[in-house]
Structure 1
Amino acid sequence: MEKGLESFDVIIIGAGLYGIQAARTYLAVHPSSNVVVFEGSSTIGGVWSKDRVYDAFWTQTPVGMAEFSDQRLPPVPELDSYYGFFPAKYVASYLESYVESREFAGRKLSSRIRLDSRVTRLEKKGGTCEWRAHIFVHNKSLRDEEEARNYTATAQKVIDATGLTSSPYMPSLPGLETFSGELVHQKDIAQSHVLHDSANHNVIVIGGAKSAADMAYAAAKVGKTVSWVIRKSGSGPASFALAQGSGSYKNSNEAFYTRLTALFLASVFVRARRREWSLAGFVEWLLYKTSMGMLFFSWIWKRVTARAWKGADYSGRQGKGDAWGESEDRGFHNLQPDTEIFWQNDSSGINQRPDFFSTIADRVTVYRSDIDRVCERGIHLADGNGTFVPADVLLCGTGWDIRSSYAHLNDATAHDLGLPVSQSLQSAQEALHCAALDTRAEAHILRRFPVLAHPPTYHSTPATLTPLRLYKAMLPVSDPSILFLGKIMLGNHFRTAEVQALWAVSVFDGTLSLPDEDAMEREITETVAWCRKRYLGKGQLGNWFWFDMVPYTDCLLEEIGLESHRGRKGLRDLVRPCFAEDLFGLIEEYKAKYHKREST
Structure 2
Amino acid sequence: MATEKVDVVVVGAGWYGLCAAKTYLQVHPETNLVVLEEAATAGGVWAKHRLYPGLKSNNQYGLYDPNLGTYEYPDFPMKPFGVEPATHIPGEVVHEYLVAYATKFNVFDKIRFNSRLGSAEYKEDDNQWLLTIGSEGGAPKTLLTDKLIMATGITSEPFLPTFKGSETFGAPLFHAKDLLQHSEELLKNAKNVTVFGGSKSAWDAVYLFASKGIKVNWVVRSKGTGFCWMAPPKVTPAKKWIEKLVTTRFLCWFSPCIWDEADGYAGVRNFMHGTAIGRGIVDTFFGILGGDVATLNGYDKHPETKKMKPLTNPFFIASTLSILNYPTDIFEYVRNGTVTIHIKDIDHLSPGQIHLSDPEKPDELDTLETDALICSTGWKYKPHVKFLPEGIEKDLGVPYINKEIKDYADEELTQKADAEILKKYPRLANQPTINPKYESLTSDSEHDDLNRPFRLWRLIAPPTKQFRNSITFCGALMNLDTSITAHIQALWSVAYLTNKLKPAEEKSEDDIKWEATLWSRFGRWRTSGGFGRRYPDFVFDSVAYFSHLLKDLDIEPFRKTGVFSQVFYPYGPEDYVTVVDEWLEKSEKKPAAVTA
TM-score by length of 2: 0.89
Q: Say which SS state the counterpart of residue 156 (structure 1) adopts.
A: strand
- Deviation of the 1:392 alpha carbon: 1.1
- Deviation of the 1:149 alpha carbon: 3.9
Change (3 A) 1:110 1:127: same
What is the aligned partner in structure 2 of residue 372 from structure 1?
Answer: 347
- Deviation of the 1:405 alpha carbon: 3.2
User: Cα deviations across residues 477-530 of structure 1 (Å, max 9, x unaligned)?
Assistant: 232211111111212211111111111011012221222111111112212222
Give ranges in structure 1 of 5+ residues lacking alignment: 103-107, 139-146, 319-330
Superposition pairs for residues 496-507 of structure 1, below 5 Å? 496-507=485-496
Q: Does 1:487 align with 2:476?
A: yes
What is the aligned partner in structure 1 of residue 72 from structure 2?
Answer: 67
Q: Which stretch of structure 1 is more off in the superposition, 247-256 or 19-28?
A: 247-256
User: Cα deviations across residues 96-142 of structure 1 (Å, max 9, x unaligned)?
Assistant: 1111112xxxxx2211111111212211236321211122222xxxx
Q: Say which SS state the counterpart of residue 213 (structure 1) adopts.
A: helix
- Deviation of the 1:408 alpha carbon: 6.0
RMSD of aligned alpha carbons:
2.5
What is the aligned partner in structure 1 of residue 453 from structure 2?
Answer: 467
Equivalent position amino acid for 2:498 in 1 = D
- CA distance in 2 between counterparts of 1:409 and 1:308 reads 47
User: Which of 84, 87, 90 is equivalent to 2:90?
Assistant: 87
User: Cα deviations across residues 412-453 of structure 1 (Å, max 9, x unaligned)?
Assistant: 2323312101233xx35x978962222221111111111111
- CA distance in 1 between counterparts of 2:591 and 2:243 reads 39
What is the aligned partner in structure 2 of residue 533 from structure 1?
Answer: 525
- CA distance in 2 between counterparts of 1:599 and 1:75 reads 23
What is the aligned partner in structure 1 of residue 323 from structure 2?
Answer: 350
- CA distance in 2 between counterparts of 1:132 and 1:249 reads 53
Q: Does 1:445 align with 2:431?
A: no
Q: Say which SS state the counterpart of residue 95 (structure 1) adopts.
A: helix
Change (3 A) 1:550 1:598: closer
Change (3 A) 1:246 1:456: closer
Q: Say which SS state the counterpart of residue 339 (structure 1) adopts.
A: coil
Superposition pairs for residues 266-281 of structure 1, below 5 Å? 266-271=256-261, 279=265, 281=266
Equivalent position amino acid for 1:62 in 2 = Q
- CA distance in 2 between counterparts of 1:346 and 1:333 reads 23
TM-score by length of 1: 0.88
Corresponding residue pairs, total = 563
Q: Say which SS state the counterpart of residue 61 (structure 1) adopts.
A: strand
- CA distance in 2 between counterparts of 1:340 and 1:503 reads 34
Contact 1:49 1:92 in 2 (8 A): yes
Q: Does 1:295 align with 2:270?
A: no
Contact 1:118 1:135 in 2 (8 A): yes
Percent sequence identity over aligned pairs = 30
What is the aligned partner in structure 1 of residue 40 from structure 2?
Answer: 42
What is the aligned partner in structure 2 of residue 239 from structure 1?
Answer: 229
User: Cα deviations across residues 462-482 of structure 1 (Å, max 9, x unaligned)?
Assistant: 761111111112111232211
- CA distance in 1 between counterparts of 2:138 and 2:549 reads 41
Contact 2:117 2:385 in 1 (8 A): no
- Deviation of the 1:349 alpha carbon: 0.6
What is the aligned partner in structure 1 of residue 576 from structure 2?
Answer: 583
What is the aligned partner in structure 1 of residue 443 from structure 2?
Answer: none
- Deviation of the 1:44 alpha carbon: 0.4
- CA distance in 2 between counterparts of 1:557 and 1:272 reads 9
- Deviation of the 1:272 alpha carbon: 6.9
Contact 1:209 1:348 in 2 (8 A): no
Q: Does 1:361 align with 2:341?
A: no
- Deviation of the 1:564 alpha carbon: 6.9
Superposition pairs for residues 27-426 of structure 1, below 5 Å? 27-63=25-61, 64-74=69-79, 83-102=86-105, 108-125=106-123, 127-138=125-136, 147-193=137-183, 196-244=186-234, 251-271=241-261, 279=265, 281-318=266-303, 331-344=304-317, 347-353=320-326, 354-362=328-336, 363-383=338-358, 384=361, 385-403=364-382, 405-407=384-386, 412-424=391-403
- CA distance in 2 between counterparts of 1:433 and 1:454 reads 17
- Deviation of the 1:269 alpha carbon: 2.1
Contact 1:56 1:215 in 2 (8 A): no
- Deviation of the 1:201 alpha carbon: 1.5
- Deviation of the 1:198 alpha carbon: 3.5
Q: Which stretch of structure 1 is more off in the superposition, 88-97 or 239-248?
A: 239-248
Equivalent position amino acid for 2:162 in 1 = S
- CA distance in 2 between counterparts of 1:250 and 1:50 reads 33
Change (3 A) 1:131 1:263: same
Contact 2:387 2:393 in 1 (8 A): no
Q: Say which SS state the counterpart of residue 387 (structure 1) adopts.
A: strand
Contact 1:206 1:397 in 2 (8 A): yes
- Deviation of the 1:5 alpha carbon: 2.2
Q: Which stretch of structure 1 is more off in the superposition, 58-67 or 350-359?
A: 350-359
Q: Does 1:522 align with 2:524?
A: no
Change (3 A) 1:5 1:24: same
What is the aligned partner in structure 2 of residue 328 from structure 1?
Answer: none
- Deviation of the 1:177 alpha carbon: 2.0
Contact 2:149 2:472 in 1 (8 A): yes
User: Cα deviations across residues 69-110 of structure 1 (Å, max 9, x unaligned)?
Assistant: 1111136767x77x44232221111111111112xxxxx221
- Deviation of the 1:456 alpha carbon: 2.2
Change (3 A) 1:410 1:544: farther
- CA distance in 1 between counterparts of 2:483 and 2:390 reads 30
Change (3 A) 1:190 1:547: farther
- CA distance in 1 between counterparts of 2:307 and 2:185 reads 24
User: Cα deviations across residues 293-336 of structure 1 (Å, max 9, x unaligned)?
Assistant: 12111111100001111111112034xxxxxxxxxxxx322110
